[in-house]
Amino acid sequence: MENYEKEFQELLEQEELNYYSKGEIVEGEIVRITNDYAFVDIGQKTEAVVKKDELEGLNIGDKIKAVYTGKKTPEGYSILSRKPIRFKEALENVEKALNENLRINAKLIKNLEKGFIVDLNGIKAFLPYSESGLRKGENLPEEFEVYVLKLDKNRKVPNIVVSRKKVLQEEQQKKKEKLFSELEQGMSIPAKVVKIQDNGVVLSVGNIVFGFLPASLYSWDKNKSIKELKKGQEIEVFIKELDKENQKLILSRKDLEENPWEKFPYQVGDKVKAVVKKINDYGLIVKVDNLQGFIHKSETDHLYPNKFKEKFKEGSEVEAVIIELDRENQKLKLSIKQAHPHPLDKFLEEHPEGSEVEGKIKDVKNKVAFIDLGEIEGILHLEDATWNPKIKNIGQVLKGKKVEKFKVLGKEKDKIKLGLKQFKENPWDIFLSKYKVGDYVKGKVIKMIDRGAFVVINPETFGNDIEGFIPVNEISKERIEIPSDKLSLNQEIEAKIIKIKGHDIILSIKALEKDKEKKEIEKVIEKVKPKGEGLGTLGELLKEKLKEKNK
């Protein structure tokens, strides 16, 4: 009887152990924890076990749910697993997070080439590198929050894609909003240099907000540049413009400096010292005290403004007059030439009009010559070089001369006006006061053309200033074709003035000869005329005279 009871008891125990079916959910209480397992009271004689790494923070006394696996430990304890329960709960949490746009906790499991495998409280998901929010050189923390971007349950293993970047962006935006709520225009704040561009500097404020420092707002001192800044350098800046709605920040260092334009002690018209900092095609960039000014090339010299690059060097000091000062728009313009007397005015003070100067003939054109007077240049026009209106080229007057004395006539633009003919009285006035049509003059042949000869009249008295013309038919009583049939160059002649019109004087050798013949005849008549007797005919007298000539 005892043996039957023993066998029945064993059968009951065996039945009790297999009370739960494989895959069935079991509820129980953790009663003790060892190095490998947690022992769970599931209401049977023998406790079941759960692997310790599945506890997830549970302790003795906590109620748990687990799945009966149908397996036993070597010691005969039924093995439970919380993984299926956790997986189902995790999947439900993931689906809820996706549908309701909620954040969910994640733990880093593994690094892959293009991303990371993370654990979402019992279910694995993929975090692409592009959604990690990592910057170069950064690593993921062990735990962090993510948003679910994608969930595909129609697979043996659900496909889940998550994003940490979206969480970071939200956190950053919150920080931005908080920071912008604290910032006010006109505040002075520290900022870190992030990027240096040609037009300005990108700065980070509290590693949260980016602001921009334009190059024009870096410093009042034009010698200072944003190029002197270094990436990562922390500087103090002034909030110039603040747009909280669009979260834009314009920063300035210039506003933290004293405004030199307000302190500048000079006014328009003041003479100042300036240092040449740079020379460009338009003029000189100069420094006056702590301000930058500009001298246009036209204001660099009275006479030779286009030679400013040769005359001035960077670093040289010049004296200039302020001709424009705009403190509001920070513009300063100066003039070097207005700081010094005009060289022509200075020359005329030393050599007033009518005085005599010596100059070197350096360039002769058709109707004008340029004279070197030292630092300045003189100009001699043809009409001031000679009284002779027949001379058409000034080279005829200056031929063979290198240095000459001139009369100062005044100023002509950027040159001193000079004269030569002013050394003597107008010969035409003298000539016309002494001579008239019918008078005889002496002259010298200077030029011959087919229709006549040009002569200078009375050169001993008038030089080359009075010129006359003898038509070819007035050269001789005889018929000639060209002047050279009777005349030669430099031949001295005597002729009669037969016409004066303005500066045109017409001469005649033939008329003079006829006059001489007439006078001679008159003399003969006087000689042969018998006293008290009749005069006879004029023809008889002329015949008599001709006979005498032919003897």
Domain 183-256 has CATH 2.40.50.140: yes
Q: Are 185 and 169 in contact (CB under 8 A)?
A: no
Report d(CA 308, CA 284) in Å as an integer. Answer: 8
Give, in order, the Cα–Cα distances in Å from 348 to each of 353, 355, 373: 7, 9, 12
In the prediction, which pLDDT does 2 show?
Answer: 47
Dig out the tokens for 70 from the structure. 């149908």
Q: Are 200 and 156 in contact (CB under 8 A)?
A: no
Report d(CA 123, CA 83) in Å as an integer. Answer: 9
- Dihedral sign (CA 393, 394, 396, 397): positive
Q: Which of 508, 522, 521, 528 is closest to 549 using CA atoms? A: 521
In the prediction, which pLDDT does 91 show?
Answer: 87
Q: What is the DSSP code string of 367-411? A: SEEEEE-SSSEEEEEHHHH-S-TT---THHHHTT-SEEEEEEEEE
CA 300 to chain centre: 20
**Class level of CATH domain 270-335:** mainly beta
In the prediction, which pLDDT does 536 show?
Answer: 53
Dig out the tokens for 277 from the structure. 């900092």
The identity of residue 273, as a single letter, is K
Instruction: Let me know how many helices (H) and strands (E) the chain has, helices first.
Output: 12, 30
Report d(CA 276, CA 293) in Å as an integer. Answer: 9
* Phi, then psi, of 138 in degrees rounded to 5: -90, 155
Q: Which fold has domain 434-523?
A: OB fold (Dihydrolipoamide Acetyltransferase, E2P) (2.40.50)
Which CATH superfamily is 343-423 part of? Answer: Nucleic acid-binding proteins (2.40.50.140)
**According to DSSP H, which parts of 18-162 are helical?**
83-100
pTM for the model stands at: 0.49
Q: Are 360 and 374 in contact (CB under 8 A)?
A: no
Show pLDDT as tens, one digit a residue, over the chain (551 residues): 445 445 544 544 444 444 667 778 888 888 898 888 889 988 887 788 888 877 777 888 888 888 888 888 888 888 888 778 778 888 889 999 999 999 999 999 999 989 999 999 888 999 999 999 998 888 999 999 999 999 998 887 889 999 999 999 999 889 888 888 888 999 999 999 999 999 999 999 988 889 999 999 999 887 789 999 999 999 999 999 998 888 899 999 999 998 889 889 999 999 999 999 999 999 999 999 888 999 999 999 998 899 999 999 999 999 999 999 999 888 999 999 999 998 999 999 999 999 999 999 989 999 999 999 988 999 999 999 988 888 889 988 888 888 889 999 999 988 999 999 888 888 888 888 899 999 999 999 999 999 999 999 998 888 888 999 999 999 998 899 999 999 999 999 999 999 999 889 999 999 999 998 888 888 888 877 665 554 455 556 555 655 554 44
* Phi, then psi, of 221 in degrees rounded to 5: -75, 115
Q: Could you tell me if residue 541 is left (phi over 0), alpha (psi between -120 and 50 degrees) or otherwise beta?
A: alpha
Find the Cα–Cα–Cα–Cα dihedral 31, 35, 37, 41, rounded to 10°.
-10
Q: What is the DSSP code string of 339-364? A: GS--HHHHHHHHS-TT-EEEEEEEEE
Side-chain-side CA neighbours of residue 85 (13 Å):
18
Q: Which residues contact 479 (CB under 8 A, 6 or more apart)?
A: none
Domain 18-100 has CATH 2.40.50.140: yes
Report d(CA 497, CA 499) in Å as an integer. Answer: 6
| Neighbouring-strand partners of residue 268 | none
In the prediction, which pLDDT does 77 show?
Answer: 86
In the prediction, which pLDDT does 12 show?
Answer: 42
Q: What is the chain's Cα-based Rg?
A: 60
Q: Are 149 and 104 in contact (CB under 8 A)?
A: no
* Phi, then psi, of 153 in degrees rounded to 5: -90, -10
Q: Are 416 and 376 in contact (CB under 8 A)?
A: yes
Report d(CA 67, CA 79) in Å as an integer. Answer: 9
Report d(CA 237, CA 509) in Å as an integer. Answer: 101
Output the 3-class SS for 487-502: CCCCCEEEEEEEEEEC
In the prediction, which pLDDT does 548 show?
Answer: 55
In the prediction, which pLDDT does 63 show?
Answer: 87
Domain 102-170 sits in CATH at: 2.40.50.140
Please name the residue that has the structure tokens 């990027």: 195
DSSP state of 21: P
Report d(CA 325, CA 314) in Å as an integer. Answer: 23
In the prediction, which pLDDT does 1 show?
Answer: 41
Q: Are 503 and 390 in contact (CB under 8 A)?
A: yes
CATH 2.40.50.140, the chain: domain bounds: 18-100, 102-170, 183-256, 270-335, 343-423, 434-523
Report d(CA 11, CA 4) in Å as an integer. Answer: 10
Q: Are 320 and 295 in contact (CB under 8 A)?
A: yes
Q: Are 384 and 404 in contact (CB under 8 A)?
A: no
Report d(CA 33, CA 304) in Å as an integer. Answer: 103
The identity of residue 395, as a single letter, is G
Report d(CA 115, CA 162) in Å as an integer. Answer: 11
Q: Which residues contact 165 (CB under 8 A, 6 or more apart)?
A: 130, 131, 132, 133
